[in-house]
């Protein structure tokens, strides 16, 4: 059974689940008189942030380029796109992705046109 904590994943396994202890450090090998199930905490990365670049301040030119790229990705998408998906598709961090998507939403809201960028089902889509 696995339980997710803040930055760890807790996994319970019985001794029967472990095929071999070769290569284990002495402190990793438990006393056979302990319970048959043990908990091990393993650090994990949030799936929404895994593989994304670190935040950095973008130049005005970079902001314009990424903004256009996000707009194009959203324009061709047939389903709402989450911030994580948009960030991954544009190789951009989540903070800048959010800033640029909010900017696009504001711009489309101010236009007197027939297209709006909306947050729908945890993602963003033109309607």
Fold for 60-126, please state it: Arc Repressor Mutant, subunit A (1.10.10)
Per residue in 33-82, pLDDT (tens digit) is 554 555 555 444 444 567 889 999 999 999 999 999 999 999 999 999 99
pLDDT of residue 9 exceeding 70? no
**What pTM did the predictor assign?**
0.61
Angstrom distance (rounded) from CA 94 to CA 46 = 12
pLDDT at 112: 86
pLDDT at 103: 97
> What are the boundaries of each domain within the chain?
2-43, 60-126
pLDDT at 95: 97
Tokens of 63: 């902001």
pLDDT at 31: 54
CB count within 10 Å of CB 84 equals 19
Angstrom distance (rounded) from CA 23 to CA 78 = 50
pLDDT of residue 4 exceeding 60? no
Per residue in 79-109, pLDDT (tens digit) is 999 999 999 999 999 999 999 999 999 999 9
CB count within 10 Å of CB 22 equals 5
């Amino acid at each position: 059974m696995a339980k997710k904590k803040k930055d760890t994943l807790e996994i319970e396994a019985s001794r029967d689940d472990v095929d071999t202890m070769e290569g284990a450090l002495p402190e990793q090998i438990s006393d056979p008189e302990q319970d048959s199930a043990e908990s091990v905490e393993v650090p994990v990365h949030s799936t929404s942030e895994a593989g994304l670049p670190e935040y950095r301040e973008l130049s005005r030119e970079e902001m314009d380029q990424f903004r256009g790229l996000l707009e194009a990705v959203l324009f061709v998408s047939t389903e709402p796109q989450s911030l994580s998906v948009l960030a991954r598709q544009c190789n951009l961090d989540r903070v800048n992705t959010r800033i640029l998507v909010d900017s696009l939403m504001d711009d489309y809201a101010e236009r007197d046109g027939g297209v709006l960028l909306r947050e729908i089902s945890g993602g963003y889509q033109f309607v």
